Structure 1
């Protein structure tokens, strides 16, 4: 009965909140706008981002190349680039990009977005429900001026992010407002069809929540399946159908993500990191990290 209750429970408290200023780049702890390339974030967090949310932050992902699996709350999509998806604060989302995928990621404090929207509404703009729900939009490239303009703005905000000056904050806010206007223009364009059953997405999210709670314990797949009161075969089938990845890969990716974080932000030794992540043998952790990232843990830390 307890296992069935777990499957039936919809509680965002189980979904981790990721604050990029604290978890990724501490220079941005107190900033309203955070820009980063998709490639750099993927190098740190991995190409598989399990279900999470961003408390008090909006996030815009623009994918320029490759195919992406996206899960926005209870909806799931498989979309070819170019595309973008937008997640309002607290909306749970997960996504998986291909290894060669490139793009932009903008994270914005919700109060700034609200202020910009209020300013636009004062001019007679009547989209009062704008940015309340998540968006997923496939961008048309054939003689589409709106798409071209939107992608050009993303290039400009990436370039502006490189300049450290008094004017940078003003420029970023101005570009962000133009990007929000373009998102409004593009919002009704090429909405992808949902590709996965809601029940499968729900099971997939619960599995990721369990991974978040137990990945350091190195539970077997059968132990995870038992906690969810489903078979290991069904769990693996759902993970492949929803994410394109086997269930075991999701656990390994979470371990790698945490290893990257500890190597970047802590001063503890590589052996201690291995023990922290539940590896009983430091040499096994070293091989695990090298086999899954292509570099040694020491090389990654030095970078």
Structure 2
């Protein structure tokens, strides 16, 4: 997808990190900062917005506030774990003085971690926006605190194996989130997550389907039929939650895979295009160029010249040397 849209066509604000102009994230972009680092600048309020290709996980250690996702507002109090998937329109109102960490990950980074996990429950745990209240002093809360602390330490230290160490901690974070989700499902009296709208739940069912079928170039009608809804209903849900159509979401997934192939493999353009379902290499090139703003060859050269292609450590982990951009 393009990095910018005309204001008249994009009523929902988009940011890189909150308050920064939108951009296409590096495939393995990761950033972590404390809640006060950014929220003090915005009077503890994050107005509804979305990010292209960036997901959030927040660990709230002190204070509380309210999460708004798809127009549904959920209160949270520390300790709490909050998950916001990529493209979901969301906002926050934090109580002044709230503390904790905000972890931001590109879809490429998160997809790479999930690809190494055999359990589907890990993907399901981050498919919907959630605000889970934790039991203070519990093993689960302690495990999450260790995960975020280690991610923060590795993010700042720039040691060898930094990306791998962060990915390992994110995997543990996903395990903790999946276990929280399972506990909530078993506890019928707990209301966490029940406020998720039908649109959000429909999108959560669509995402894994797109992951499986994007290279088959299913039309929107086929996705809708598989989900048991009309194409209009599916498109409306996608637009309300993400500001994008169903087809744009599918194209975004194609672009993610194309970028990964161009950076991490030595395959030719025709081979990459064919693997993504494009029988005509010229059409693949036009498809990519229209959304990226440069050709696949130029994209690959830029990453090779920048030293990021194939690097295990430091490929887009952050843009600012490991400190908060604010």
Counterpart in 2 of 1:134?
129
Q: Measure how far apart 1:193 and its partner are.
A: 7.3
Structure 1 residues 110, 148: CA separation in 2 closer, same or farther (over 3 Å shift)?
Answer: same
1:78-157 → structure 2 map (5 Å cutoff): 78-121=75-118, 125-127=119-121, 129-142=124-137, 144-157=138-151
Structure 1 residues 22, 48: CA separation in 2 closer, same or farther (over 3 Å shift)?
Answer: closer
Counterpart in 1 of 2:74?
77
The counterpart of 1:161, out of the listed 147, 155, 159, is 155
Counterpart in 2 of 1:261?
none
Q: How many residues align?
A: 186
Counterpart in 1 of 2:58?
61
Structure 1 residues 77, 12: CA separation in 2 closer, same or farther (over 3 Å shift)?
Answer: farther
Counterpart in 2 of 1:171?
165
Q: Is the 1:72–1:91 Cα contact (8 Å) retained in structure 2? A: yes
Structure 1 residues 38, 178: CA separation in 2 closer, same or farther (over 3 Å shift)?
Answer: same
- Once residues 191 and 118 of structure 1 are traced to their aligned partners in structure 2, the CA distance between those partners, rounded to angstroms, is 30
Deviation by residue 1:183-240 (Cα, 9 ceiling, x = unmatched): 1111244543779x99xxxxxxx9xxxxxxxxxxxxxxxxxxxxxxxxxxxxxxxxxx
- Once residues 27 and 43 of structure 2 are traced to their aligned partners in structure 1, the CA distance between those partners, rounded to angstroms, is 25
Q: Measure how far apart 1:65 and its partner are.
A: 1.0
TM-score when scaled to structure 2? 0.50
Structure 1 residues 22, 164: CA separation in 2 closer, same or farther (over 3 Å shift)?
Answer: farther
Counterpart in 2 of 1:192?
192
Q: Measure how far apart 1:18 and its partner are.
A: 1.2
Structure 1 residues 30, 36: CA separation in 2 closer, same or farther (over 3 Å shift)?
Answer: farther
SS at 2:120 equivalent: coil
Q: Is the 1:21–1:30 Cα contact (8 Å) retained in structure 2? A: no
Q: Measure how far apart 1:44 and its partner are.
A: 3.3
Q: What stretches of structure 1 move > 6 A for 4+ residues in a row?
A: none
SS at 1:20 equivalent: coil
Structure 1 residues 56, 44: CA separation in 2 closer, same or farther (over 3 Å shift)?
Answer: same
Q: Is the 1:75–1:194 Cα contact (8 Å) retained in structure 2? A: no
Greater alpha carbon shift after TM alignment, 31-40 vs 103-112: 31-40
SS at 1:14 equivalent: coil
Q: Is the 1:16–1:52 Cα contact (8 Å) retained in structure 2? A: yes
Q: Is the 1:68–1:95 Cα contact (8 Å) retained in structure 2? A: yes
Deviation by residue 1:103-149 (Cα, 9 ceiling, x = unmatched): 0000001122122212112xxx132534222111111115x211211
Q: Is the 1:22–1:29 Cα contact (8 Å) retained in structure 2? A: no
- Once residues 108 and 133 of structure 1 are traced to their aligned partners in structure 2, the CA distance between those partners, rounded to angstroms, is 15
Counterpart in 2 of 1:20?
17
SS at 1:148 equivalent: helix
Counterpart in 2 of 1:244?
none
Structure 1 residues 22, 136: CA separation in 2 closer, same or farther (over 3 Å shift)?
Answer: closer
SS at 1:129 equivalent: helix
Counterpart in 1 of 2:44?
47
Where structure 2 has 5 or more consecutive residues not aligned to the other structure, the ranges are 1-7, 185-189, 199-239, 241-325
SS at 1:40 equivalent: helix
Q: Measure how far apart 1:21 and its partner are.
A: 9.2
SS at 2:160 equivalent: coil
Q: CA RMSD in A?
A: 3.5
